[in-house]
Structure 1
Amino acid sequence: MPYDVLLIVAAYLLGSLSTAILTCRLMGLPDPRGVGSGNPGATNVLRAGGKKAAIITLAGDLIKGALPVALTLALGRGQATAALVGFAAFLGHLYPLYFGFKGGKGVATALGAIFGLNPLAGAAVAGTWLGMALVSRISSLSALTAFLCAPAYLYLLAHSTPASLIMAFMSALIFWRHRRNIRNLAAGSEPRIGGKARADSTE
């Protein structure tokens, strides 16, 4: 048990590394918290710094979700512990220790955790996001659709009830973090991928 706690704490600390902020600092770009929607995530970095910075941000957020989960499974700790480790990395992204506990939405980090738990489930979630993005061109709607389905994908493909339940809680938090986006979607004012974000969009 103490070993599992160590893995969970380490995952939270890793998740607390804001890839968006660090990437923008290293590339000499504006702090993503002060431009566009103000959200330190790949979508806002795309608007603030372009495709290269956004790809680096997305990759970093995926890795910090997938790596601790994959390591936990490699150490033989089981799906339930691995899911808790993924949840810790996700919480680190949402509430980062190093950045005043003010982080992003957690979509890419949660997706990385799913890939770590079960690559097929991760591919299903990513495919759902991509399909909705191609149709709607709206990042937030794509994320909400994908994570509405994510717990079911994990249950069907990973055959793990604990992992599916933990993912359901993560999905609920993703919906909570997108509450302004949901209001904008209802009002028809949510920005499209590649477009300019309103100050209240937070995507």
Structure 2
Amino acid sequence: MSLTVVTIVMILSAYLAGSISSAVLVCKLRGLPDPRTQGSGNPGATNVLRIGGASSAALVLFFDMLKGAAPAYLAFRLGVDPIALGVIAIAACLGHIFPIFFNFKGGKGVATAFGAMAPIGHDLALCLMGSWVLLVLITRYSSFAAICTALLAPVYTWWLDDRFTIPVAMLSTLIVIRHKDNIQRLLKGEESKVSRKKRTKAP
């Protein structure tokens, strides 16, 4: 099988993997309300934290990151070039944002994007997670932390392994574009802060 065919197969596989909504499935398995109809309406870890608590949010975060990490790592092992790796990672994020299995209504793609960056190296993964956690603790705004971490990601990558600066920049651009509404709310002072609510049962 040629490398071009492998790349196309990986792009399609990454999109399909990204289309599996961890937030919806975790909430359903745990008897929680559908995250698309509760809180911010975003099927992601932050909204699940609001409606279901830390353990449910941690599961969503893990599986959302895995959706990005697994295709990116597999493609890397198969010898796909850095630019194609970026396209594969974006395909996984687009699957999360526009999931074919959930009426094309998905989340922001932050955890999936960061997961796709993680196989570049443990140092980068630690920088990304550390930056996001620190910014959330300081500001209490998950969206602000995600945007700032996305902007820092290409800088970290250039410093740690400059071969992947362009694909990481591609992912970062997608994250920032996806947060355009959050940016407007932040500027107006209308963005919701991170809060944890007690676990609730679905009616």
Q: State the partner residue of 2:44.
A: 41
How big is the shift at 1:146? 0.2
Q: State the partner residue of 1:167.
A: 168
Whole-Å separation in 1 of the counterparts to 2:88 and 2:173? 17
| Structure 1 residue ranges without an equivalent (≥5) | 197-203
Whole-Å separation in 1 of the counterparts to 2:40 and 2:173? 21
Q: CA RMSD in A?
A: 1.6
- When structure 1 is superposed on structure 2, of 6-15 and 169-178 the one drifting more is 169-178
How big is the shift at 1:195? 5.8
TM-score, length basis structure 2:
0.89
| Per-residue Cα deviation, 1:45-86 (whole angstroms, up to 9, x for no partner) | 111111111111000001111111111122232433322221
Q: Residue type matched to 1:34 in 2?
A: T
Q: Does the Cα contact within 8 Å between 2:49 and 2:196 map onto a contact in 1?
A: no
Question: How many pairs align?
Answer: 194
Percent identity between matched residues is 43
Whole-Å separation in 2 of the counterparts to 1:107 and 1:185? 17
Q: State the partner residue of 2:159.
A: 156
Q: Spell out structure 1 runs of 4+ moving beyond 6 A.
A: none
Matched, 1:100 2:103: yes
Matched, 1:61 2:64: yes
Q: Residue type matched to 1:95 in 2?
A: F
Tell me which of 147, 152, 155 is aligned to 2:150: 147
How big is the shift at 1:121? 1.8
Q: 1:63–1:134: structure 2 CA closer, same or farther, 3 Å change rule?
A: same
How big is the shift at 1:190? 1.6
Q: Which has the higher contact order (CA 8 A, sep 6+)?
A: 2
Q: State the partner residue of 1:89.
A: 92
Whole-Å separation in 1 of the counterparts to 2:196 and 2:26? 21
Whole-Å separation in 2 of the counterparts to 1:129 and 1:24? 24
Q: State the partner residue of 1:186.
A: 187
| Per-residue Cα deviation, 1:159-182 (whole angstroms, up to 9, x for no partner) | 21xx32232232222222212211
Whole-Å separation in 2 of the counterparts to 1:94 and 1:116? 21
TM-score, length basis structure 1:
0.89
Q: State the partner residue of 1:112.
A: 115
